[in-house]
Structure 1
Amino acid sequence: MILILARKELRSLFATPMGWLVLAIFQAIVGTYYSLSFNQYFEIMQSAQWQVQRIGITQFMAEGVFGVASMLMLFVVPLVSMKLISEERKNQTMALLMSSPLSMSELILGKLLGIVSYLSLLIATMVVMIVMLLPWAEIDIPYLLTHALGLWLLVVASSALGLYVSCLTANPMLAAFGSLAALTIFLLLDKFFADNNQLLFHDFSLMQHYRQFALGMLNSYDVLFFVLFAAFFVLLSIRRLHADRLYG
């Protein structure tokens, strides 16, 4: 049932102009940075006087492409997650879902899997872009996959947060703004709380944990953080719908 819901959610994204528009704008911006990074790499390497000043093309390209993608996700995730539950409330179809034999866990996980599948396509295209350089350059595949895994985990955690915010309102636009505000806070907590006395808040920054993947370091602590972050908001979403089912 979860897979059926995910497929339905994914199909609904591609059945609307917004799904294709987000995909087109994302690819246009990322593609532009890809082209600029490629040109800048050779310009910088030609001016490097010492071998120690040279860096690999994989690192340079990934930092440019994935760096802009991580910022774009701040806007893309709220756009694709805002309608998950709030539109069901707005269209008054939530009562049908509540009365169906479908469990709230299946509903939440199915919708989450649907938008994560959509966003995973965006990440996959970026990986393909860089891998296409293989005939002309030596690509560090493990580093590239580690960086892509970090962005994917960031997307899963952000989508779970956006899904929970969508459960709180019947207004999709309000859900989008709420998700945008919440994601901005969680992404930049390390900037707001940089003092050593506030390390607890610093450790809750999504961007702080993503940076470790961007450096090519696969740390089980960072993976666990993203998994627990996503699980926390998935559980909150399930409890919210359970409360709606029980108390209306």
Structure 2
Amino acid sequence: MKSLFLKEINAFFGSLTGYLVLALFLVALGLIVWVFPESSVLEYGFADLEALFSYTPYVFTFLVPAISMRAISEERKTGTWELLRTAPLSLIQIILAKYLALLALVFLAVLPTLLYAYSIVQLGDPVGNLDLAGFFGSWIGLLMIGAAFAAVGLFASALTSQQVVAFVLGVFLCFVLYFGFTALAELLTGEVSYLVEELSLSYHYNSLSRGVVDSRDLFFLLGMIWVFLGGSVLALRNK
């Protein structure tokens, strides 16, 4: 598994595309947090990073499928999937290795945002005027959403041998899972509306982004990851 994990990481950074995707992600977040007047921390005047945690899931909807689209679809298109299946690894181990590689890439993408927290700490009046507990609770929520999107993106990549199709499908699924159930809940009433909203990733992410790490939210996100990884295994079982 380790060799496959490292192979995936090296393949991502072995082309200009990998660096470009991460660079675009960081530029987009930088513009949102520091430049655009509607969301800029400097314009807002308060020492918090609400803009970062509010807008990053929107960017993740495109970033994570872009990272994951080649994970399996490229193997199938180039014919190396059959070769990989002859390796002394089970299908589950292959899926896990690829998923862990995607997790590492998501973590690397989010890691530089810690500099934003340091900047806010230094810019605060007084210095250090930032709710660090709330920040790290929200940051954990961000990582969990990235992890869930990575599982969804891997599932999309398992369904097709075309990277573009995998990307579009991944974006669609991430969008529906994050925004779709919430939009549907607004059309319903009563307890049904509440139950539908609880199926939305945004519902659980918003709970985590308040700095409250609730085990129910974590279990829901972990369950969704398990479902889509299991779906990837089922989709590839006879490939």
Give TM-score, length-normalised by structure 2.
0.90
The answer for the alignment partner of 1:77 in structure 2 is: 64
2: distance between equivalents of 1:158 and 1:171? 19
Does structure 1 conserve the Cα–Cα contact (< 8 Å) formed by 2:47 and 2:120?
A: no
| Matching residue's letter, 1:115 | L
Measured in 2, the distance between the counterparts of 1:87 and 1:108 equals 14
Q: SS state of the match for residue 24, structure 1?
A: helix
Match among 170, 184, 189 for residue 175 of structure 2: 184
In 2, distance between residues paired with 1:230 and 1:141? 27
Shift in Å, 1:200: 3.2
Say if 2:188 is the partner of 1:193: no
Q: Please say if residues 87 and 170 of structure 1, whose CA atoms lie closer than 8 Å, have aligned partners that are also in contact.
A: yes
> Deviation of residue 102 (structure 1)?
1.2
The offset of 1:88, in angstroms, is 0.6
Q: Deviations over 1:112-148 (max 9, x none)?
A: 1111111111211112222233334222211111111
Q: Do the aligned partners of 1:131 and 1:139 also contact (CA within 8 Å) in 2?
A: no
Shift of 1:198: 3.8
Matching residue of 1:26: 25
After superposing the two structures, state which structure 1 stretch, 84-93 or 128-137, moved more.
128-137
User: What corresponds to 2:54 in structure 1?
Assistant: 67
Q: Quote the residue 2:15 is aligned against.
A: 16
2:75 aligned residue (77, 83, 88): 88
2:41 to 38, 41, 44: 38
1:160 is aligned to 2:160? no
> Does the 8 Å CA contact 2:41/2:51 hold for their aligned counterparts?
no
Q: Which letter maps to 1:22?
A: V
Distance 2:123 2:165 in 1: 47
Q: CA deviation at 1:6?
A: 2.0
Deviation at 1:217, TM superposition (A): 1.5
**TM-score, scaled to structure 1:** 0.86
Counterpart of 2:163 in structure 1 is: 172
* Aligned residue pairs, count: 227
Q: Point out 4+ residue stretches in structure 1 off by more than 3 angstroms.
A: none
Aligned counterpart, 1:7: 6
1:8 and 1:207 map into 2 onto residues whose CA distance is: 33
What SS is found at the alignment partner of 1:135?
Answer: helix
The residue number in structure 2 matching 1:47 is none
Contact 2:47/2:121 (CA < 8 Å) preserved in 1?
no
- Determine whether 1:219 maps to 2:206: no
Pick from 208, 212, 228 the counterpart of residue 233 of structure 1.
228
Counterpart residue number, 1:127: 114
Where structure 1 has 5 or more consecutive residues not aligned to the other structure, the ranges are 43-55
Compute the displacement of 1:169 (Å).
Answer: 0.9
Alignment partners' CA distance in 2, 1:63 and 1:134: 14
Residue pair 1:30, 1:65 contacting (<8 A) in 2 also = yes
**Whole-Å Cα distance in 2 between the matches of residues 6 and 74 of structure 1?**
23
- CA deviations on 1:71-117 (whole Å, 9 max, x unpaired) are 10000111111111111110011110112211111111111111111
Residue correspondence of structure 1 range 130-141 to structure 2 within 5 A: 130-137=117-124, 138-141=129-132
Amino acid at match of 1:33: I
Whole-angstrom distance in 1 between the partners of 2:172 and 2:121: 39
Contact 1:82 1:163 in 2 (8 A): yes
Structure 2 unaligned residues grouped into runs of 5+: none
Q: Are the aligned partners of 2:141 and 2:208 in contact in 1 as well (CA < 8 Å)?
A: yes
Is the contact between residue 60 and residue 146 of structure 2 (CA under 8 Å) also seen in structure 1? Answer: yes
Residue 12 (structure 1) shift: 1.2
**Alpha-carbon separation, structure 1, partners of 2:55 and 2:26:** 11
CA contact (8 A) 1:127 1:144 kept: no
